[in-house]
Amino acid sequence: MGGSVFPQWIDRARPLFGVVLAIVPVYLIVMAYYGGSPQTTDVGYMPDQPVPFSHALHAGELGIDCRYCHTTVEKASFAAVPPTSVCMNCHERIAADTALLLPVRESWASGEPIPWVKVHDLPDFAYFDHSAHVSRGVGCLECHGRIDKMDQVRQVASLSMSWCLECHRNPEKHLRPVEFVTDLDWKPSEDQAILGKRLRQENNINPSTDCSTCHR
C-alpha cells in the first residue's frame, strides 16, 4: 500500500530525467548563442550584385587603388559606393558594349544609381568611422581581407563587438604606415609587434573602449 503509484520503470528513469532536464536548457542556450553569432550568420555572406564586378580583376590584376572608387574613405565615416560616372570613366571605351555592363549603361543613361547590395553592413546602433581608422594606418585588409583576390565580395570578419574590442585593446598588430593602407600585398620590414608599438606611440593611438564610442 505504501509503494509508488508510478510504474517501477519511471522510478528507475528519474535520474535520467534529471540529467536531461539539466543538459537540454544548457544545450539550447549554447546552440542559440553560436547559431545567432555574427561568426555564424555573417562570415561568408556573399550577396549577388546587379553587376558582376570583380575586385580580383580591378583591384588585383589591374591594380586600381581602393580610393579611386571609394573616394570618401579617408575623409568620411562612410566609404562611398562609386557613382556610375566612375565606372564610365573607363567603360565608356573599355568593354562598352558587353551584355554584363548593360545595367551600368542603363544607369548612366537614366541617372538612376546602380542598386548595389551592401556586404559589410553594420547594425544601425553601431557607429564606425572609416576615416578614423584609415588615417591612423589600419589597412583595408584588416576588415575586408584579400578583397583583391575576390571575384565576388564576401564578408571575412565577424565585425562583432568582441572583434572590434579586441582590436581597440590591442591595435599594434593591425597597424601599418599610413601610405600602405590600401596596399594589400604589404609586409612589414620588421617584427609587427615592434612596428605596431612604435606606430602607436608616434601617432598617439589610444582607441577608446567606452560604450559611447560606437553606440551614439
Higher pLDDT, 190 or 28: 190
For 32-55, write each residue's pLDDT tens digit. Answer: 666 566 666 779 999 999 999 999
Which residues contact residue 188 at a Cβ distance below 8 angstroms, ignoring those fewer than 6 apart?
176, 195
For 142-193, write each residue's pLDDT tens digit. Answer: 999 999 999 999 999 999 999 999 999 999 999 999 999 999 999 999 999 9
**Rounded distance, CA 156 to CA 46, Å?**
10
For 78-124, write each residue's pLDDT tens digit. Answer: 998 999 999 999 999 999 999 999 999 999 999 999 999 999 999 99
Kindly report the pTM of this predicted structure. 0.78
Q: In Å, what is the CA distance from 93 to each residue of 29, 71, 97, 102, 186?
A: 57, 22, 9, 14, 32
pLDDT confidence band for 24 (50 / 70 / 90): confident
